[in-house]
Amino acid sequence: MACYNRRAITVECLQHLAITAQRAGVDYQLFLFDDGSTDGTAEAVQSLLPDAAILRGDGSYFWNRSMNRAFDAAMQVGFPAYLWLNDDTMLQPDAFSLLLSARDSAAPDEAIVVGAISDPVNGRTTYGGARYVSPRIRPFLATVVHPGPQPQDVDVVNGNLVLVPDGIARKLGNLDPVFEHGMGDTDYSMRARKLGIRIVLTAGYVGVCSRNSLKGTHRDKALPLQQRLKQIFSRKGLPWRSWLTMCWRHGGMLWPVHFLWGYTKVILGRA
C-alpha cells in the first residue's frame, strides 16, 4: 500500500481490510510506503498495526514508485501471495472469498486476480479489469469489464486491488519504477500477458471506491489549453518519459504515432 496525507481514509481502509481478512481466515502483514505524509498517517497506521513494515519517502515517489518500494520489501521477506491495495478502496466483508475463488478458477498460482470495484453511491463499476478493443491498431484503448456471475479473463488491471501469487511475482518482477505515477499497473498487465500469464476479474464487486475526478486535470475541457498542456506533462498526466517508455515498449511499430497522439488529442480537444 502507498499513502500520502489522508490519515482517516487510510485507517478506514485498513479497518475494512482487517474485517475481510478475519472473515476469510487470511493472515497478512502490511507493507506501507508513506511518501512524506505530514498528517500523522504513518504513526496512526503503526498504532493500528504494530507489526506493519512502514517505509518513508520524501514526497517525490507518487503511486507507482511508492508501490514499487513496498512490493520490493514484501518480496524480500517472501509470502505465498501479494495484495496491492489502494488506501481509498474500502473492501467488502467477502472480498477475500471472491479473490480466492477467482484465483482457484484459474488454478492456484497461475493467474493474477484483479478485484472489481464499484462506486459507493451509484454502484457502477469504477475500477477493476478491462479488455483491449484492437490491440494491434490501438494497443492502449481498452473497455471496462463489469463483473458477472463467474470470474472472467481480462487484459489489463487498475491497481486498486490486485492479487499476485508469489510464483508470478518472481517470474514477472516488480512494478517498473521508470513510471513516475500512473501507467505502472498497465505496464505490469501488458508484460504479464506477453508472458502468457492470465489475468482474472472477480465475480462480483470486492469493494467500493469513487472514480478520480477529472476536474483540474488535462482531461478537464473547462480549463484553458495552456493549463491543460501544463497538466498533461505533470506526473499525474502523461509525463513524457513514462509515456515514451509505455509507447516504445507496448505500442508496436506505430509507437511514435501513439506517443504523439497522446498529446495531440489534448491540443485538438479530443481528450
Say how many residues make up the chain: 271
Give the amino acid at 136.
Answer: R
User: In the predicted model, is pLDDT for residue 167 greater than 90?
Assistant: yes
The predicted pLDDT at position 184 comes to: 98
Q: At what angle do helices 184-194 and 62-77 cross, to 10 degrees?
A: 50
pLDDT value for 120? 96
Q: How confident is the model at residue 271 (pLDDT cuts 50, 70, 90)?
A: low
| Residue 238 CB partners (closer than 8 Å, separation 6+) | 218, 232, 262, 263
**pLDDT tens for each residue of 127-140:** 999 999 988 889 99
Pull the grid cell for residue 59: 514526497
Please check whether residue 160 is in contact with residue 117, taking contact to mean a CB–CB distance below 8 angstroms: yes
The cell numbers describing 206, all together, are 470486492
Q: Give the CB-side neighbour count of residue 190, counting CA atoms within 13 A.
A: 21
Q: Any residues with CB less than 8 A from the CB of 156 and at least 6 apart, and which?
A: 129, 130, 131, 132, 142, 185, 186, 189, 190, 199
Stated pTM of the model:
0.95
Q: What nine digits make up the cell of 258?
A: 501513439
Per the structure block, which three cell numbers stand in for 140?
492502449
pLDDT for 268 equals 84
pLDDT tens-digit map of 64-116: 999 999 999 999 999 999 999 999 999 999 999 999 999 999 877 789 999 99
CB-CB contact of 163 with 101 (8 Å): no
Q: Are 240 and 252 in contact, with CB atoms under 8 Å apart?
A: no
pLDDT tens digits, one per residue of 52-66: 999 999 999 999 999
Instruction: Establish how many alpha carbons lie within 13 A of residue 146's alpha carbon, considering only the half-sphere containing its beta carbon.
Output: 5
Q: Quote the cell numbers at residue 35.
A: 511518501
Name the one residue in this structure whose C-alpha cell is 509505455: 246
CA distance 37 to 216: 22
| CA-closest candidate to residue 100, choices 14, 29, 206 | 206
Distances from the Cα of 160 to the Cα of 19, 126, 208, 213, angstroms: 18, 10, 10, 16
- Strand arrangement, sheet containing 138-145: 138-145, 129-134, 156-157
What is the average pLDDT across 239-247? 97
